[in-house]
């Protein structure tokens, strides 16, 4: 690592986790659950939620820290929403039915992943 690469080590797994969320369909399912008719945010809300989860998985202990951790990989992943955007999602944009929709989409995604894994008894393809 060089002096110009500070902040990359804590975020080294971010691009892989984001790619996994995208390729497995998790981001798409999450986006579908968080969609609000007529509202077109600057950042896909499913990606924002995935980025918060990734930041927490990388060791962050708050939403703001999670977004900072994820933003550490922005030179590889591209633009990352701010902590303020993530808080706006949790505080202002979630309506009462979204948690149920998220749970259904997550269950659908989980079922699909388990079915794919069941088709490969030797392990991950």
**8 A C-beta contact, residue 11 and residue 73:** yes
Q: Cα(125)–Cα(99) distance, rounded to whole angstroms?
A: 31
CB–CB of 66/55 below 8 Å? yes
Kindly state the tokens that stand for 85. 């955007």
**pLDDT for 73:** 82
Alpha carbon 93 to its chain centroid, in Å, reads: 17
Looking at residue 3, its pLDDT comes to 44
Which stretches in the chain have pLDDT values below 50? 1-6
42 CB burial (10 A radius; 0-12, 13-18, 19+): exposed
The Cα–Cα gap between 93 and 102 comes to: 14
Q: Which residue has the tokens 């497995």?
A: 24
Q: What pLDDT is recorded for position 125?
A: 61
């Amino acid at each position: 690592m060089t002096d110009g690469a500070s902040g990359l080590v804590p975020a080294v797994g971010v691009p892989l986790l984001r790619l996994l969320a995208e390729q497995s369909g998790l981001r798409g399912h999450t986006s579908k659950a968080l969609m609000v008719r007529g509202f077109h945010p600057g950042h896909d809300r499913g990606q924002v939620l995935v980025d918060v989860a990734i930041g927490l998985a990388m060791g962050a202990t708050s939403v703001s820290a999670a977004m900072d951790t994820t933003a550490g990989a922005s030179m590889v992943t591209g633009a990352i929403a701010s902590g303020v955007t993530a808080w706006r999602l949790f505080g202002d944009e979630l309506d009462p039915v979204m948690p149920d929709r998220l749970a259904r989409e997550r269950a659908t995604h989980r079922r699909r992943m388990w079915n794919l894994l069941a088709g490969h008894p030797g392990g991950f393809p």
